[in-house]
Amino acid sequence: MTTEKRYEAFLALAREIYDLERAEELLSWDQQTYMPPKGAGARASQLGTLAGLRHDLLVGSRMADLLAGLDEREGGGLDEDARVNVREIRRLHDRERKVPTELVKELARLQSLSHEAWVPARKGSNFGAFAPWLEKVLRAKLLIADAIGFAGSRYDALLDEFEPGATASEIARVFDRLKERLVPFAERVLEESRSAPGPIKGDYPIAAQEKLCRRLAEMIGFDMEAGRIDISAHPFTMGNLHDVRFTNRYDEHDLSSGIFGALHEGGHALYEQGYDPAHAGTPRAAYASLGIHESQSRMWENFVGRSRPFWMHALPILKEYFPSAAGIGLDEWHRNVNRAEASLIRVEADEVTYNLHILLRFEIEKELAEGRLSVRDLPGVWNDKMRSYLGIEPPDDARGVLQDIHWSMGLLGYFPTYALGNLYAAQFYRAARRAIPGLEEGFSRGEFAPLLTWLRKEIHTRGRTYPSGELARVVTGEPLDSSCFMDYLEEKHGGMRAA
């Protein structure tokens, strides 16, 4: 077989794997949006079957044979894009073939059932009802980690799924430097915020919030002909290119949850709509890592969406949907959406305290993975750490250890990517500001296309060409570091004090 023919056959098989993954994604999306309650058992079985078949295609002899004859090194006869595809599929193939199919199917089934157990457990703040499921999921994940293998920490094998190449020790190093400046800074800001006005509350019908959020998403560039917005208990984004969907949730008395949920998920969605369609169905048109993904959502949520210029344009739009908000002034609103407060829920945390929520989770996951913490001790450890980092304690597990969907879905090793995303976002945003004259002035006139165009060129269309750390270096000229993020925070909160 010629290299060309072989690569063609490889691509066809890669696209079958991709199609299965898209089908699984739709089944999960449906489970969280429209599936009738009694459908959970059958859905778990379906997801298990699809995951098993996908695993078989990825690690099977057909793929192994094709990969054996393809060389992704320069001079191996493949063009640059093809080399990326072969490298990335080979990486997955090499990792996944170490995991028995039965374990893959078992995990997929467990994820679905455990998610179903988590929903009522969180609602009833009943950790005991969720713990046995989490134990099963953890056990399966650790068996997978052991099958994959690792050099340093067992946690490395879990991280690799979400942030390829990242290690627990490297992340700990970056987070330690972050902690040095963030902890005292957060203490100061939280101290100052105690005398600041409380959040702006009101009555905001959810149907109108949905319309506003759609408007804001379209305003920053989300293509509704190639996407949807729905409601789910926990917001998420799925799909890519021509079918990208995100979900949101709304608080009848507070607009923040809906608006920043939409800008956050909208940021994820813009990344997914931004790949090069010529490479659809291959790693060349897929996100570099979840840290990079999160940099996109945090950029639109915080760096753009919590800026004063953004609200110069968007506050009058908000008032179209909520005439009761007519009296709110720009500065008052800008302070409102940037309030810092020690709070219980990660997804509602402000920019200053957000990373503290992640440090807590990173430390817990590492201990779980390394066998130094057991599931039944989680609520106690969680609450201790909340007291130590944020000075508050969850009154119940629903607002504590049960708040996040991730562990119920088997996503162990995922949380650190949120903090990495914040750090990458700060570095990318500084680079964008340097590259685009009058960037923020543009926001005040509703001009968001220059930023999106820059992100498309520098990040989105590059797909998985570079691993996350290298991508940051290519785009910004600098390695991953927390100083840029801290500079941004200090400048912003200094500015608000001065205003």
Residues annotated as part of the active site: 265
Residues near a copy of itself (CB under 8 A):
15-16, 19-20, 22-23, 26-27, 30, 34-39, 41-43, 45-46, 48-50, 52-53, 223-228, 230, 239, 241-245, 280-281
Shortest CB 231 distance to a copy of itself, Å: 12
Measure the CA–CA gap between 113 and 102, rounded to whole angstroms: 16
Q: Which residue has the tokens 């994959």?
A: 148
Using the minimum distance from each CB to a copy of itself, give the nearer residue, 30 or 478.
30
Q: Are the CB atoms for 158 and 375 separated by under 8 Å?
A: no
Q: How far is the CB of 245 from a copy of itself (least distance, A)?
A: 8
Quote the least distance from Cβ 194 to a copy of itself, whole Å.
45
Residue 79 CB, shortest distance to a copy of itself, in Å, is 23
Closest CA to 254 of 194, 336, 175: 336
Q: Please state the φ and ψ torsions of residue 300, each to the nearest 5 degrees.
A: -75, -35
Which strands, in side-by-side order, build the sheet including 243-248? 227-231, 243-248, 237-240
When the beta carbons of 196 and 452 are compared against a copy of itself, the nearer one is: 452
| DSSP-based three-state secondary structure for 230 | strand
Instruction: Count CA atoms closer than 13 A to 445's CA, side-chain side.
Output: 8
Minimum separation from the CB atom of position 20 to a copy of itself (A): 7
Q: What are 195's two structure tokens?
A: 């005398």
Q: Which is nearer to a copy of itself, 218 or 367 (CB)?
A: 218
Residue placing its CB nearer to a copy of itself in the complex, 241 or 317: 241
Smallest separation, CB 161 to a copy of itself (Å): 23
Exposure string of 416-442, with b = 16+ CB inside 10 Å and e = fewer, is bbbbbbbbbbbbbbbbbeeeeeebbeb
Calpha distance 35→20 (Å, rounded): 19
Are β-strands 243-248 and 227-231 bridged in parallel, bridged antiparallel, or unpaired? parallel
Tell me whether residue 122 or residue 245 sits nearer to a copy of itself (CB atom).
Answer: 245
CB 337 within 8 A of CB 196: no
The answer to whether the beta carbons of residues 443 and 299 sit under 8 Å apart is no
Q: Tokens at residue 59, please?
A: 């690690």
Per DSSP, the residues of 128-187 read HHHHHHHHHHHHHHHHHHHHH--SS-HHHHHHTTTSTT--HHHHHHHHHHHHHHHHHHHH
Residue 169 near residue 155 (C-beta atoms within 8 A): no
* Shortest distance (Å) from residue 214 CB to a copy of itself: 13
Indicate the residue among 168 and 217 with the shorter CB distance to a copy of itself. 217
Cβ 287 to a copy of itself shortest distance, Å: 17
41 by DSSP, 3-state: which? helix
Q: Which is nearer to a copy of itself, 37 or 477 (CB)?
A: 37
User: Distances in Å between the alpha carbon of 248 and those of 230, 234, 236, 474?
Assistant: 6, 7, 7, 33
**With 0-12 CB in 10 A as exposed, 13-18 as middle and 19+ as buried, what is 186?**
buried
Q: CB nearer to a copy of itself: give 291 or 463.
A: 463
What are the Cα distances from residue 341, in Å, to 168, 199, 200? 29, 10, 14
What residues contact 209, with CB distance under 8 A and at least 6 apart? 250, 255, 258, 259, 321
Q: Which is nearer to a copy of itself, 5 or 15 (by Cβ)?
A: 15
For 354, the token pair is: 């957000």
In the complex, the smallest distance separating the C-beta of residue 481 from a copy of itself, rounded to whole angstroms, is 38
Residues 108, 7: Cα–Cα separation, whole Å: 30
